[in-house]
């Protein structure tokens, strides 16, 4: 047995966990979360319990997803700007469950840092709450964790959990998709939340480089990299009857995500001339001398959401979605590849 230590009086606060600061953070979080509540939330029961009265569906299917923001978090901390990462997180999650037609109901977040800074937590949650409000979703609960020794310096973690619902008969599966169907692309806002580890490797993450103005971007690199993940729910929701399948373009790019919605034996052919690759991707490719194929595997390359419809509905959709472009078509699969990017 080791010898006893000298009798310093140890406390939780001295060990880096201050329950009073944690309480202060919770108070600030509640302030913003309250603005998101909807009638189904049974708030009288204590905010952090997360009780949601579920009604209004005939044959409901609950649709859930969990996501993080990846190392975009590190860009935000390098620049000391925490008000957008919450928007990234919520929008990413909303798009994910919306691909099967689900409407968002409620959201929970997890924030961890070495030393809780209530004001930093508040900035993050303010972003979360504003994005929740945009889609009528309740920020129903969350956890703030103080983890000294796991996170260092300004590092932190941010994870989100979403619950939505869809009528069973209205789940969008992509099962009606067939050869000849049209692939529409909706523009991304930028990198969204993918590929940041590669970007950080290429550019580094000093404030000097992040604050460098690039004429081709019309802004600094840091500003460009923090552009929030776009949410496609509001614009696509009224068009669901005309949509056969959707793919949210996240990690893995077009190649990794579009096959998820394609029935067996089909393949997606993309015509990259159909849309303009945003300057940030060209800059990354040039600066890192990154292979073209690797670019398309890692990044969204300007397409944040893919919508597949029959040729009959294509005009209706492009009319309703002025930013949407026909970027490809569904064809029969010959070899192994399920996606071809031309």
Strand pairing class (339-341; 266-270): parallel
Phi, psi of 322 (to 5 degrees): -55, -30
The label of the residue with tokens 């700007």 reads 81
Residues in the chain: 342
Nearer to a copy of itself, 177 or 324 (CB): 177
Is residue 230 a contact partner of residue 289, using CB atoms and an 8 Å limit? no
The answer to whether 55 contacts a copy of itself (rule: CB under 8 A) is: yes
Q: What count of other Cβ atoms lies within 10 Å of the Cβ of residue 84?
A: 22
Confirm or reject binding of residue 56 to a copy of itself (CB under 8 A): no
Q: At what angle do helices 72-79 and 85-98 cross, to 10 degrees?
A: 160
Binds a copy of itself (CB under 8 A): choice among 21, 28, 37, 51: 51
- For a copy of itself (CB under 8 A), the number of binding residues is 93
- Our finding on whether 289 is near a copy of itself (CB under 8 A) is yes
Least spacing, CB of residue 319 vs a copy of itself, in Å: 30
Nearer to a copy of itself, 47 or 326 (CB): 47
Tell me how far, at minimum, the Cβ of 317 lies from a copy of itself, in Å: 23
Choices 28-36, 158-166, 271-279, 330-338; region in contact with a copy of itself by CB under 8 A: 158-166
306 binds a copy of itself (CB under 8 A): no
Q: In this chain, which of 152, 273, 322, 336 binds a copy of itself, going by CB under 8 A? A: 152
Binding test (CB under 8 A) with a copy of itself, winner from 119, 291, 312, 315: 291
Asked if 330 and 266 count as a contact pair (C-beta separation under 8 A), the reply is yes
Residues 206-265 close enough to bind a copy of itself by CB under 8 A: 209, 212, 214-215, 251-252, 256, 260
Of the pair 13, 179, the CB lying nearest a copy of itself is at 13
Structure tokens at 313: 């509905």
**Using the rule CB under 8 A, is 136 a contact of a copy of itself?**
no
Among 11, 264, 335, 336, binds a copy of itself (CB under 8 A): 11
DSSP string, 76-121: HHHHT--SSHHHHHHHHHHHHHHTTTPEEEEEEEEEEESS--HHHH
Q: Side-chain half-sphere of 19: how many Cα atoms within 13 Å? A: 2
46 binds a copy of itself (CB under 8 A): yes
């Amino acid at each position: 047995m080791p010898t006893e230590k000298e009798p310093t009086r140890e406390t939780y606060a001295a060990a880096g966990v201050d329950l009073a600061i944690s309480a202060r953070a919770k108070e600030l979080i509640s302030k913003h979360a309250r603005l998101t509540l909807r009638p189904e939330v049974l708030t009288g029961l204590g905010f952090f319990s997360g009780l949601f009265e579920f009604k209004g569906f005939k044959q409901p299917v609950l649709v859930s997803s969990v996501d993080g923001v990846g190392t975009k978090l590190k860009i935000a901390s390098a620049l000391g700007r925490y008000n957008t990462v919450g928007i990234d997180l919520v929008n990413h999650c909303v798009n994910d469950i919306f691909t099967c037609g689900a409407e968002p109901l409620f959201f929970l977040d997890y924030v961890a840092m070495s030393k809780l800074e209530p004001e930093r937590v508040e900035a993050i949650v303010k972003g979360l709450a504003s994005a929740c409000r945009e889609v009528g979703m309740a920020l129903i609960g969350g956890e703030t964790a103080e983890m000294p020794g796991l996170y260092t310096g300004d590092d932190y973690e941010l994870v989100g959990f979403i619950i939505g619902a869809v009528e069973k008969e209205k789940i969008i599966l992509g099962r009606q998709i067939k050869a000849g169907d049209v692939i529409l692309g909706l523009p991304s806002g930028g990198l969204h939340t993918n590929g940041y580890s590669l970007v950080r490797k290429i550019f580094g993450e000093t404030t000097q480089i992040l604050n460098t103005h690039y004429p081709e971007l019309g802004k600094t690199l840091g500003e460009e990299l923090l552009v929030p993940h776009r949410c496609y729910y509001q614009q696509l929701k009224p068009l669901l009857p005309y949509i056969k399948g959707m793919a949210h373009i996240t990690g893995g790019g077009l190649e990794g995500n579009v096959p998820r919605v394609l029935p067996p034996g089909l393949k997606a052919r993309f015509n990259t001339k159909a849309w303009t690759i945003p300057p940030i991707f060209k800059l990354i490719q040039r600066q890192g001398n990154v292979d073209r194929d690797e670019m398309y595997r890692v990044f969204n390359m300007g397409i944040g959401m893919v919508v597949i419809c029959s040729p009959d509905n294509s005009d209706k959709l492009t009319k309703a979605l002025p930013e949407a472009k026909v970027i490809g078509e569904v064809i029969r699969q010959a070899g192994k590849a399920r996606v071809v990017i031309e």
